[in-house]
C-alpha cells in the first residue's frame, strides 16, 4: 500500500502473460519467470498538487481554500437559508390553518412568502447543501485527493453564492418587499404592476439567481475535474463510492441546465429594465396598449422547466448516492448491483432532460407533445425503480444496525416510493390536468423534493458528524428527532393528497366559501399544527450538536467500520491535505463487507490483495 510500488513500473517489460491481480490493474510483460506482484498499482501519472497554506485567521477560516472548510461554509449558509424558508412556511401554514389569527399576514405578504419559500428551499438550500456542502467536503476525501484541483476558484464559488444569498435576503428590506409572483416566476404578471414586489423585489431575485449560477459554474467545474483527474492511485471510476457518482452526475446536469435559468433571468431583467419583449406579449391595461408586444410567456416556461426538472435530479442524485453508501455501511453488506446503480444514476441524469414539459400540461401544448412527455416521464421511473429494488436487496439478509442513520435511510426509501407513486399519477395528462393546481401537487412535490432529500441530509449528518467534529452524536436524541420528524411529515403531506382530490386549489391566500371546504377546514388546522411541531422538532438536532460538542463521546478513527477513504485520513477531523505524507493507494471498491474468510466484517479500500488472499473477496 505504500509508494514502494511506484518503482516497479519497469516490471511491465518482464512477463509475457497477463496477470490478473485480485483487485489491481493487469500487468503484461516478456517472460522472465519473476513472480508477479499481486499488489501492484500503476505509479501516479502526475505529481501531487501544491497546497496553499493560510497565514492568518481570515485566510484559514473566512477566505479559505481548503475544500473541507468551504464545504462547511456552504453547509452553514444553506442551513441559514433553510431556516428562513422554514419560518416562511410556518407563516403560510398559520394563515391557511387559522385565517386572520395573524393580522399582519396580508394577501400580498402570503404570495411573497410562497415565492421566497419555494425558491429558497429548492435552489439556495437543497442544491447548495448537497453540491456545495457535501460535494466540497466529501469529493477530495472519497477519491483520495489533497484538495480540489482549483482551490482559489473554489473559494470564489462560495463567496459568489454568499453574495447571491445576501442579494436575495435584501429583497425583504426594499420598498415593496420580495417578489410575490410564485416561485416559478411566470411572466407576464411577474414584472407588471399589481404583483407584489414587481419593482426591486423581482430585480433582486433575478440578479441573485444569476450570481448563483455563475458561482456554481466555478464550483461545478472544480467537482468534475477533481473527480476525473485527481483520483488517487488505483481509484478507478468503478471503484468510486456511489456518493461521488451521484454528485458528479448531478454536477454535469447542473452545468447543462443552469444556463437555461441564467439566460431566462437575464432576458426577464431586460424586459423589466429596458422594455424588451422576450417574454411579454401585447398587453391591454384599462383599454390602453402597453409598450410590450411580440414576446412569448410560454418560452419562459420552457426555459424555466428545462432547468427545473433536471433540478429535481440535481438534488435527488446526490441523495441517491449518499443513501446507497449509508445503507451499505449500516447493513454491513455490499451494495447490490453496483454497476447497475452507476448506470441508473447516469441514465436518470440523461432522461431528466426529456421530461420537463410534464410541468406544462395545462399550458395548451399540442396533445402529441403531451403524449411524448407522459411517455418519457414513465420511462424515467424505470431506472429510478431499479435503485429502490437495489436498496431493498442490499438490506435483504444484511446485518442491519437499527441506529439513527439507518432509520433516516429507511424513512427516505418509504417516502421516496410514496412520492414516486403520486408522480406516476401526475405524469399522465388526463390525471394531471384536473389535479394540476391543487394540493395534490403540493403533497407530491414535497414528498419527493422536500421530505425525502431532507431525510438523506439528516442521515448524512449523523453518519459523517464524527468525521467533521471528531465526536459522536447522541443516539437517543437522534431517534427522538427521527420519529417526530418522520411521523410529523406524513401528518402534513398525506392529508394534502385528499385536499387535492376534493379540489382544494393551491396558492390561495384564503379559501372561498365552497362545499369542499367543509371537510378541508379541520384538515388544514391539523396540517398546520403538524407543520409547527415538525419544524420545532429540528431543535433536537441543534441541541444534540451543542451537547455533543460540549460533553459528547470522542469518536474513534473509523467509528462505523466503513471502507471508503474519508475514514482513513491521518487525523480526525482531517487536516488540510487530508492524508498526511502519503496519499492512499486503492485496491478495491468500498463495499467489501462480511467477506467470507476475512478477520473483520469490513475490508478498507486500501487493503492490498496480498493481505486478503485467503478470503473470498470479489475482483473489483
The pLDDT tens digits for 483-524 are 999 999 999 999 999 999 988 899 888 876 666 667 788 899
- Report if residue 148 sits inside a domain: yes
Residue 25 has pLDDT above 60, yes or no: no
Q: Give the model confidence (pLDDT) of 462-477 as tens digits.
A: 999 999 999 999 999 9
Beta-bridge mates of residue 554: 471
Q: Which of 196, 191, 192, 317 is nearest to 264 (CA)?
A: 191
> How far, in Å, CA of 551 to CA of 554, rounded?
9
Q: Give the mean pLDDT of 114-119.
A: 96
Q: Give the model confidence (pLDDT) of 270-305 as tens digits.
A: 999 999 999 999 888 888 888 888 899 999 999 999
Q: Give the mean pLDDT of 172-180.
A: 95
Q: Give the mean pLDDT of 428-455.
A: 94
- Report if residue 304 sits inside a domain: no
Residue 442 has pLDDT above 70, yes or no: yes
Task: Tell me 401's DSSP state.
Answer: -
Task: Tell me 232's DSSP state.
Answer: P
pLDDT given for residue 372 in this prediction: 94
- Report if residue 540 sits inside a domain: no
User: In total, how many domains does the chain have?
Assistant: 1
When pLDDT is cut at 50, 70 and 90, the band that residue 42 belongs to is confident
pLDDT given for residue 53 in this prediction: 78
> How far, in Å, CA of 426 to CA of 417, rounded?
14
515: Cα separation from own chain's centroid: 41
The verdict on whether omega for the bond into residue 288 sits within 30 degrees of 0, i.e. cis, is no
pLDDT given for residue 33 in this prediction: 43
For residues 36, 41, 46, 48, the Cα torsion angle rounded to the nearest 10 degrees is -130
pLDDT given for residue 59 in this prediction: 81
* Largest pairwise CA distance in the chain: 95
Q: Find out whether 165 and 246 touch, Cβ atoms under 8 Å.
A: no
Q: Which of 560, 567, 553, 580 is nearest to 607 (CA)?
A: 567
Task: Tell me 554's DSSP state.
Answer: E
Q: Find out whether 116 and 88 touch, Cβ atoms under 8 Å.
A: yes
Q: Which of 50, 173, 33 is nearest to 112 (CA)?
A: 173
Residue 84 has pLDDT above 80, yes or no: yes
Residue 83 has pLDDT above 90, yes or no: yes
User: Which domain range does residue 94 map to?
Assistant: 65-240
> How far, in Å, CA of 142 to CA of 105, rounded?
47
The verdict on whether omega for the bond into residue 310 sits within 30 degrees of 0, i.e. cis, is no
Residue 18 has pLDDT above 70, yes or no: no
- Non-local CB neighbours of 128 within 8 Å, separated by 6+ positions: 74, 77, 78, 81, 161
pLDDT given for residue 295 in this prediction: 92
Looking at per-residue confidence, does 318 or 44 come out higher?
A: 318
Q: Give the mean pLDDT of 39-68.
A: 81
Residue 68 has pLDDT above 80, yes or no: yes
SS3 438: strand
When pLDDT is cut at 50, 70 and 90, the band that residue 267 belongs to is very high
- Non-local CB neighbours of 615 within 8 Å, separated by 6+ positions: 595, 596, 597, 598, 603
Q: Give the mean pLDDT of 83-92.
A: 97
- Report if residue 59 sits inside a domain: no
Q: Give the mean pLDDT of 443-465.
A: 96
Q: Find out whether 606 and 565 touch, Cβ atoms under 8 Å.
A: yes
pLDDT given for residue 264 in this prediction: 96
Residue 579 has pLDDT above 50, yes or no: yes
Residue 21 has pLDDT above 70, yes or no: no
Residue 8: CB atoms within 10 Å: 16
Q: What angle do CA 128, 134, 137 make, to 5 degrees?
A: 120
Q: Find out whether 53 and 36 touch, Cβ atoms under 8 Å.
A: no
Q: Give the mean pLDDT of 32-47.
A: 65
When pLDDT is cut at 50, 70 and 90, the band that residue 49 belongs to is confident
pLDDT given for residue 99 in this prediction: 87
Which helix (H) or strand (E) element contains residue 289?
A: strand 288-289
pLDDT given for residue 2 in this prediction: 38
> How far, in Å, CA of 503 to CA of 596, rounded?
57
pLDDT given for residue 512 in this prediction: 64
When pLDDT is cut at 50, 70 and 90, the band that residue 16 belongs to is very low
Residue 534 has pLDDT above 60, yes or no: yes
Mean pLDDT of the chain: 89
Q: Find out whether 446 and 493 touch, Cβ atoms under 8 Å.
A: yes
For residues 298, 300, 302, 303, the Cα torsion angle rounded to the nearest 10 degrees is 170
For residues 65, 67, 73, 74, the Cα torsion angle rounded to the nearest 10 degrees is 120
Q: Which of 403, 377, 341, 324 is nearest to 564 (CA)?
A: 324
Residue 29 has pLDDT above 60, yes or no: no
Of 46-50, 251-255, 508-512, give the lowest mean pLDDT range: 46-50
- Report if residue 158 sits inside a domain: yes
pLDDT given for residue 111 in this prediction: 96
> How far, in Å, CA of 348 to CA of 166, rounded?
33
> How far, in Å, CA of 2 to CA of 581, rounded?
11
Looking at per-residue confidence, does 386 or 39 come out higher?
A: 386
Q: Where are the alpha helices (DSSP H) in 502-566?
A: 517-537, 539-551
Q: Give the mean pLDDT of 4-11.
A: 35
Beta-bridge mates of residue 288: 285
Q: Find out whether 97 and 145 touch, Cβ atoms under 8 Å.
A: no
pLDDT given for residue 521 in this prediction: 81
Beta-bridge mates of residue 442: none
When pLDDT is cut at 50, 70 and 90, the band that residue 231 belongs to is very high
- Report if residue 111 sits inside a domain: yes
Q: Which of 5, 149, 29, 15 is nearest to 587 (CA)?
A: 5
356: Cα separation from own chain's centroid: 19
Q: Give the mean pLDDT of 178-191.
A: 94
Residue 51 has pLDDT above 90, yes or no: no
**Phi, psi angles (nearest 5°) of residue 535:** -60, -45
> How far, in Å, CA of 209 to CA of 524, rounded?
33
pLDDT given for residue 515 in this prediction: 64
Q: Give the model confidence (pLDDT) of 341-361 as tens digits.
A: 999 999 999 999 999 999 999
Residue 215 has pLDDT above 90, yes or no: yes
Amino acid at each position: 500500500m505504500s509508494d514502494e510500488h511506484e518503482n516497479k513500473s519497469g516490471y511491465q517489460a518482464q512477463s509475457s502473460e497477463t496477470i490478473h491481480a485480485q483487485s489491481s490493474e493487469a500487468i503484461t510483460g516478456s517472460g522472465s519467470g519473476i513472480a508477479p506482484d499481486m499488489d501492484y498499482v500503476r505509479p501516479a501519472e502526475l505529481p501531487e498538487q501544491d497546497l496553499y497554506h493560510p497565514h492568518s485567521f481570515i485566510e484559514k477560516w473566512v477566505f479559505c481554500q481548503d475544500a473541507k472548510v468551504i464545504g462547511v461554509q456552504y453547509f452553514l449558509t444553506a442551513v441559514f437559508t433553510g431556516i428562513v424558508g422554514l419560518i416562511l412556511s410556518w407563516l403560510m401554514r398559520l394563515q391557511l390553518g387559522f385565517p386572520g389569527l395573524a393580522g399582519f399576514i396580508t394577501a400580498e405578504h402570503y404570495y411573497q412568502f410562497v415565492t421566497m419559500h419555494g425558491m429558497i428551499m429548492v435552489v439556495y438550500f437543497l442544491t447548495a447543501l448537497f453540491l456545495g456542502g457535501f460535494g466540497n467536503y466529501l469529493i477530495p476525501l472519497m477519491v483520495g485527493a489533497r484538495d480540489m484541483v482549483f482551490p482559489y476558484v473554489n473559494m470564489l464559488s462560495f463567496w459568489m453564492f454568499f453574495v447571491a444569498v445576501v442579494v436575495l435576503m435584501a429583497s425583504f428590506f426594499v420598498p415593496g418587499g420580495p417578489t410575490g409572483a410564485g416561485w416559478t416566476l411566470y411572466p407576464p404578471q411577474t414584472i407588471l404592476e399589481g404583483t407584489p414586489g414587481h419593482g426591486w423585489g423581482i430585480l433582486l431575485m433575478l440578479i441573485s439567481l444569476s450570481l448563483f449560477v455563475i458561482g456554481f459554474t466555478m464550483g461545478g467545474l472544480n467537482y468534475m475535474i477533481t473527480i476525473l483527474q485527481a483520483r488517487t492511485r488505483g481509484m478507478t471510476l468503478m471503484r468510486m463510492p456511489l456518493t461521488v457518482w451521484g454528485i458528479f452526475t448531478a454536477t454535469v446536469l447542473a452545468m447543462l441546465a443552469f444556463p437555461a435559468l441564467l439566460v431566462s433571468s437575464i432576458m426577464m431583467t431586460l424586459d423589466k429594465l429596458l422594455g424588451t419583449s422576450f417574454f411579454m406579449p401585447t398587453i391591454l391595461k384599462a383599454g390602453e396598449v402597453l409598450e410590450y408586444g411580440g414576446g412569448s410567456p410560454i418560452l419562459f416556461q420552457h426555459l424555466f422547466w428545462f432547468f427545473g426538472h433536471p433540478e429535481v435530479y440535481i438534488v435527488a442524485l446526490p441523495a441517491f448516492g449518499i443513501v446507497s453508501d449509508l445503507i451499505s455501511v449500516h447493513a454491513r453488506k455490499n451494495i447490490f448491483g453496483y454497476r447497475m446503480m452507476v448506470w441508473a444514476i447516469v441514465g436518470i441524469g440523461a432522461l431528466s432532460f426529456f421530461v420537463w414539459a410534464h410541468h406544462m400540461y395545462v399550458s395548451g401544448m399540442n396533445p402529441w407533445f403531451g403524449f411524448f412527455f407522459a411517455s418519457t416521464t414513465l420511462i424515467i421511473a424505470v431506472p429510478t425503480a431499479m435503485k429502490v429494488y437495489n436498496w431493498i436487496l442490499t438490506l435483504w439478509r444484511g446485518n442491519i444496525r437499527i441506529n439513527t442513520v439507518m432509520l433516516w435511510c429507511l424513512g427516505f426509501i418509504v417516502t421516496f416510493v410514496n412520492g414516486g407513486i403520486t408522480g406516476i399519477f401526475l405524469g399522465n395528462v388526463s390525471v394531471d390536468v384536473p389535479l394540476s393546481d391543487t394540493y395534490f401537487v403540493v403533497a407530491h412535490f414535497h414528498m419527493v423534493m422536500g421530505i425525502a432529500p431532507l431525510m438523506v441530509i439528516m442521515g448524512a449528518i449523523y453518519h459523517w458528524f464524527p468525521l467533521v467534529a471528531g465526536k459522536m452524536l447522541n443516539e437517543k436524541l437522534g431517534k427522538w428527532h427521527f420519529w417526530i420528524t418522520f411521523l410529523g411529515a406524513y401528518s402534513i403531506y398525506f392529508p394534502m393528497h385528499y385536499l387535492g382530490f376534493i379540489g382544494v386549489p393551491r396558492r390561495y391566500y384564503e379559501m372561498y366559501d365552497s362545499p369542499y371546504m367543509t371537510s378541508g377546514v379541520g384538515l388544514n388546522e391539523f396540517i398546520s399544527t403538524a407543520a409547527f411541531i415538525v419544524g420545532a422538532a429540528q431543535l433536537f438536532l441543534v441541541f444534540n450538536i451543542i451537547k455533543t460538542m460540549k460533553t459528547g463521546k470522542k469518536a474513534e478513527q473509523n467509528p462505523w467500520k466503513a471502507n471508503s477513504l474519508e475514514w482513513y485520513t491521518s487525523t480526525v477531523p482531517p487536516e488540510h491535505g487530508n492524508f498526511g505524507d502519503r496519499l492512499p493507494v486503492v485496491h478495491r471498491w468500498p463495499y467489501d463487507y462480511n467477506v467470507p474468510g476475512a478477520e473483520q466484517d469490513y475490508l478498507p479500500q486500501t487493503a492490498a490483495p496480498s493481505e486478503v488472499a485467503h478470503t473470498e473477496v470479489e475482483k473489483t
